Structure 1
Amino acid sequence: MVECLSNPIEYSCRENLDLYDATECQTLATQARKGRHLRLFPEPQNHISNSPSILVQLCEDDYTAWLTTSDRNQLEIATQPYQAQIWSEDQIQAAIPQIIQFTQAAMAIPNYYLWGGTVGPNYDCSGLIQAAFAAVGIWIPRDAYQQEAFTKSMAFNPEQLDFSCLLPGDLIFFGTAQKATHVGLYLGGGEYIHSSGREHGRNGIKVDILSPEGDACIQYYFQHLRGAGRVIGSYQPASVFH
């Protein structure tokens, strides 16, 4: 559910900023690249007594998180409000080579898995995917389960290793029966690129294959394969101001 904000003023980030999942600002939730737009929640929502943070909403994807009060001086009033672009499915497919190239270039730079990372060089899984699409002007939601809900579902048969319905640029989702918790970008030929963690993954961006055989990482993600989805549009912010 998207919150209603009473303050229509948009701010832009002067620098890359860290945003957190709670008022204490201990755990990273996402990051805002320099130039991104956000709005502040009105009091009392946007500030808790003795809290070191302010609740904000990013304009491009409606994501809410906490900004440290010390970083508020890194905001300036935006000269123009954020305008979401309309992308057709054909336009998105034409941009897929650039999106794939972004992920491959990110992999070529030394990196490690960072929970909440979206600006590089260190990404989490959905942060890498969101950043890759955003690099060409296409916005998709922030988290893996949100990305799954946003995409057009693509049916395939993992038992027969038949991924013929998938196209490069499709998103591959992993997790439990209840929820997607991990996402990668399909490259074709059963391969996908993703940023995976330390415990079960590569601690960074690597290319893996959809297969029940292979090393522990390949097997782990194949066992947690949920499905795939295709991005057929750019996210349109749903924030309501009154």
Structure 2
Amino acid sequence: MQLSPSPSGEYFCLQTLDLYDDPECQSLGTQAAAGRRVQMLNKETEQAVRVMTVEDGYGTWLKKTDLQYLEVAEEPYEFVPVDRPEIEARIENILIFAHAAKRVPNTYLWGGATAPNYDCSGLIQAAYASQGIWLPRNSYQQGDFVEPVSQEDLELGDLIFFAKEQRIDHVALYLGEGYYIHSSGIEMGRNGIGIDRLWEPWDMISRAYHQTLCGFGRVMESYAPPSLACQI
């Protein structure tokens, strides 16, 4: 399919689209919900085109058969800054979003960023995005983006990070009173969205995650995507 030229260089997704980490479209990298924007990058194969999700600057591959589900965005994406006081006013609704996602039957999906099936960072990103606050896509990117805080200074809506081999590979959302909500896998988790504890009394899953606990962070602003040149 030949896309119509876009004056902004961007396109709206007309439905949720799967986006892949590889040009063979075998490994799900993320998902773009209806209404999100993608930008075409200067790479393609017979099967897929390289794209960037505009709001978080994440580069992936889109199947060419899904180009039919894109619509021209006449105007470019307008970044709306959100500062910490505004974020604090929206934390309650962010937590409500996460709890509501848990109540819907779901399973863990690597690359999942839309309801009902999320991966860990996809759930966190979606919860914040529901209130107009964008975070980077992956857990380690989110770890680099937030402001570090101590466990003693944790506040509602802060992020909790876990790591193996000294690299962040899991993220959760702090609920208060020692509890956090996250989407965890089947091997070391609940195969979906669940609530666990930072400190005793622990169950086996909470204890296993505590052994990989590596830090905490606070979202201070909404993510401003990089320029297209940085993504090619």
Q: TM-score, normalization: structure 2?
A: 0.93
Corresponding letter in the other structure for 2:18: D
* Alpha carbons 2:8, 2:76 under 8 Å: kept: no
Distance between the aligned counterparts of 1:211 and 1:203, measured in 2?
21
Q: Against the structure 1 CA distance between its residues 80 and 8, is the aligned structure 2 distance closer, same or farther, given a 3 Å change threshold?
A: closer
1:200 to 160, 177, 188: 188
Distance between the aligned counterparts of 1:200 and 1:214, measured in 2?
14
Superposed displacement of residue 81, structure 1:
1.6
Q: Which residue of 1 aligns with 2:224?
A: 236
Q: Tell me the SS of whatever aligns to 2:216.
A: strand
User: Residues 46-89 of structure 1: CA distance to partner in whole angstroms, max 9, x if unpaired?
Assistant: 213xx311110111010000000000111111132211111110
Q: Tell me the SS of whatever aligns to 1:92.
A: helix
Match status 1:151 vs 2:146: yes
Match status 1:221 vs 2:209: yes
Paired positions, count: 224
2:157 to 139, 162, 169: 169
Q: 1:67-86 to 2 correspondence within 5 Å?
A: 67-86=62-81
Which segments of 5 or more consecutive residues in structure 2 lack a partner in the other structure?
1-6
Q: Which residue of 1 aligns with 2:44?
A: 47
User: Residues 145-178 of structure 1: CA distance to partner in whole angstroms, max 9, x if unpaired?
Assistant: 000000000023xxxxxxx310000000001252
Distance between the aligned counterparts of 2:215 and 2:100, measured in 1?
26
Distance between the aligned counterparts of 1:98 and 1:76, measured in 2?
30
Corresponding letter in the other structure for 1:140: L
Match status 1:31 vs 2:31: yes
Corresponding letter in the other structure for 1:102: F
Superposed displacement of residue 239, structure 1:
1.1
Q: Which residue of 2 aligns with 1:20?
A: 20
Structure 1 runs (4+) deviating above 6 angstroms are: none
Distance between the aligned counterparts of 1:92 and 1:16, measured in 2?
26
Distance between the aligned counterparts of 2:213 and 2:159, measured in 1?
12
Distance between the aligned counterparts of 1:119 and 1:104, measured in 2?
15
Q: Which residue of 2 aligns with 1:140?
A: 135
* Alpha carbons 1:208, 1:218 under 8 Å: kept: yes
Percent identity at matched positions? 47
Q: Which stretch of the first structure deviates more once superposed, 74-83 or 167-176?
A: 74-83
Superposed displacement of residue 215, structure 1:
2.5
Which segments of 5 or more consecutive residues in structure 1 lack a partner in the other structure?
1-6, 157-163
* Alpha carbons 1:213, 1:219 under 8 Å: kept: no
Q: Which residue of 1 aligns with 2:4?
A: none
Distance between the aligned counterparts of 1:121 and 1:99, measured in 2?
16
Distance between the aligned counterparts of 2:37 and 2:140, measured in 1?
23
User: Residues 115-154 of structure 1: CA distance to partner in whole angstroms, max 9, x if unpaired?
Assistant: 0000110000000000000001000000000000000000
Match status 1:189 vs 2:186: no
Superposed displacement of residue 8, structure 1:
5.2
* Alpha carbons 1:212, 1:223 under 8 Å: kept: no
* Alpha carbons 1:8, 1:241 under 8 Å: kept: no
* Alpha carbons 2:87, 2:220 under 8 Å: kept: yes
